[in-house]
Amino acid sequence: MRHARRRVVRRGTQLAAVGGLLLGGAMVTTAMASETPGTSAVPFSSGSATQAGNTGAALVAKLGTARTAGSWIGADGRPVVAVTDAGAAAAVKQAGAEPKMVSHSMNELKAATATLKAAPRVAGTAWAVDYKTNRVMVEADSTVSASDWSNLSRVATGIGSFVQMQRSEGRFTPRLNGAQPILSTGGRCSAGFNVTNGTTDFILTAGHCGPANTIWFDEGQGNNQQVGTTIDTQFPGNDFSLIQYANGKAGDNADVVAIGNGQGVRITGAADPTVGEKVFRSGSTSGLHDGTVTALNATVNYPEGTVTGLIQTNVCAEPGDSGGPLFSNGIALGVTSGGSGDCTTGGVTFFQPVTRAMAALNVQLIVTKQAAGGQAATPATPAPSASANHSAIAPSAASPGSPAPVTGDDTSLVARLTDTRNIGPGLLVIGGSLIALVGTRFIRAEQDRKAYQRYYSATWG
């Protein structure tokens, strides 16, 4: 009876060890498959919307600004090019894009914006070329006085009927006060994108967030740990700045931007947006919101100064969202500058293009080595917050990008051994199972040897 129990225990141990080997192998395979790839740096990338925009931009460059008036993405995802003559329309159609006949060329539209810029500066005003309507749209917020409105209207009338004036609610202000919140003595902003010069890592954010030598702290950690120091900033004129990490490195998940609830989006490259493109913005105050690019090269006269070359959108933003990322399908597009309105009533938000900022600062975007190698990311659709602008035109099935967790850098031994994304737990299970198998084999051999000795002794005396 005792020998029978031993056999049952021995057989059960062997089966458990074999099961452990299979389980450990599966854990190692899963960990290797889900392992976060290393990071690299890229200056530029493209997605489907960007490729369509590139087609339109290439046609505009080929035909010239005297025969065209901009391009955008149509409702079907195809590039649309505004043209002023039949020959240009035929060339656009032959290239696979859709032509639209307009009355005013880009040269005329740019001349109009130059006249507006030369007029006396009025804080609280903004203008941009609306490619779709072939007009220059001039907006004035609630702070613009009746006399300033009247003077600016006379300038617009003198240019021509294609310059349209309109009032907007709220005030055009920088959104100081994003994705991840960063705090200084001057207020709260949002971290934009992680960038590098090859040796040191930085945060790219808005220039109006603070002057050079501003010290930033991580509000999200609860203990206000120092993040870094602003080493370069441009505002007004442009609106971007560079925060050098205190330890020189961005750390784990440097290619992820937060979108709320512990979730993030993996950034795979940077590009310039196209009018009509669906975009997403994240900020620590208002979370994730989406909308459409309505104009490029916009000019905004903030109370602090004038900023030019901005991306204009109908995505909402609120104070504290400044510097936060603008992206689409995992492609970095801009950092939040300012605007009017809020995420209850809607509004207009302007963004500093990241490509221009990175070129001026001589840095590149930090992305995974897989993305840098040109492998496409898996699309995903994290749900944006409810927004007054959520019903904006969506020309394609755009999404924020591939989902990724926003986690801290926990380097403790216990955390690493219990993290299923590491191969450690699987290797431990495999090692334990092998020891169990060897142990049971050794015990069986020892028992057989002793049994033989007893049998031999009993037989031969």
Residues 312 and 440 in one domain: no
Catalytic residue selected from 130, 141, 239, 321: 239
Side-chain-side CA neighbours of residue 39 (13 Å): 22
> What ranges make up the beta strands (E) of 43-160?
68-73, 79-83, 98-101, 125-130, 135-140
Task: Indicate whether 452 belongs to any domain.
Answer: yes
Among 2, 43, 14, 1, smallest CA distance to 444 is for 14
Tell me the CA distances in angstroms from 157 to 102, 127, 140, 146, 179, one per residue in order. 20, 15, 15, 16, 42
Residues 356 and 440 in one domain: no
Residue 14 sits at φ, ψ, to 5 deg, of -65, -45
Task: Indicate whether 15 belongs to any domain.
Answer: yes
Helix, strand or coil, per DSSP, at residue 50: helix
Cα–Cα distance measured from residue 458 to residue 461, given in angstroms and rounded to the nearest whole number: 5
Catalytic residue selected from 184, 282, 322, 328: 322
State which H helix or E strand residue 321 sits in. Answer: none
Residues 297 and 179 in one domain: yes
**Digitized pLDDT (tens) for each residue of the chain, 461 residues in all:** 555 556 666 666 666 656 666 666 666 565 555 444 555 655 544 444 556 557 889 999 999 999 999 999 988 888 999 999 999 999 999 999 999 999 999 999 999 999 999 999 999 999 999 999 999 999 999 999 999 999 999 999 999 999 999 998 888 887 554 346 677 766 788 889 999 999 999 999 999 998 999 999 886 555 568 899 999 999 999 999 999 999 999 888 899 998 888 888 999 999 999 999 999 999 888 889 999 999 999 999 999 999 999 999 999 998 888 999 999 999 999 999 999 988 998 889 999 999 999 999 999 999 876 666 654 443 344 444 444 443 333 455 578 877 777 754 444 444 444 455 455 566 666 666 677 667 666 666 666 666 656 656 666 65
Residues 398 and 434 in one domain: no
Residues 213 and 300 in one domain: yes
Residues 449 and 303 in one domain: no
Task: Indicate whether 49 belongs to any domain.
Answer: no
Instruction: State yes or no: is 342 an active-site residue.
Output: no
Instruction: State yes or no: is 40 an active-site residue.
Output: no
Q: Residue 219 has what DSSP assignment?
A: G
Task: Indicate whether 153 belongs to any domain.
Answer: no
Q: What are the start-end ranges of the H helices in 325-384?
A: 354-361, 369-372
Among 186, 205, 256, 236, smallest CA distance to 401 is for 256
**Structure pTM?**
0.75
Task: Indicate whether 412 belongs to any domain.
Answer: no
Judge whether 202 and 245 are in contact, CB under 8 Å: yes
Tokens of 274: 């196209």
Residues 394 and 261 in one domain: yes
Catalytic residue selected from 184, 208, 321, 340: 208
Q: End-to-end CA distance of the chain, in Å? A: 27
The amino acid at 214: T
CATH number at residue 319: 2.40.10.10
Instruction: State yes or no: is 208 an active-site residue.
Output: yes
Burial zone of 4 (CB within 10 Å; 0-12 exposed, 13-18 middle, 19+ buried) = exposed
Among 3, 7, 19, 8, smallest CA distance to 436 is for 19
Residue 359 domain boundaries: 173-405
Task: Indicate whether 76 belongs to any domain.
Answer: no
Residues 425 and 401 in one domain: no
Task: Indicate whether 121 belongs to any domain.
Answer: no
Judge whether 175 and 339 are in contact, CB under 8 Å: yes
> What ranges make up the beta strands (E) of 303-330?
305-313, 325-328
Residues 244 and 388 in one domain: yes
Task: Indicate whether 115 belongs to any domain.
Answer: no
Tokens of 10: 């021995």
State which H helix or E strand residue 103 sits in. Answer: none
Residues 246 and 386 in one domain: yes
Residues 222 and 246 in one domain: yes
Domain count, the chain: 2
Judge whether 182 and 219 are in contact, CB under 8 Å: yes
Residues 379 and 426 in one domain: no
Side-chain-side CA neighbours of residue 196 (13 Å): 17
> What ranges make up the beta strands (E) of 143-224?
163-167, 173-174, 181-184, 187-190, 193-196, 201-205, 215-218
Cα–Cα distance measured from residue 120 to residue 111, given in angstroms and rounded to the nearest whole number: 16
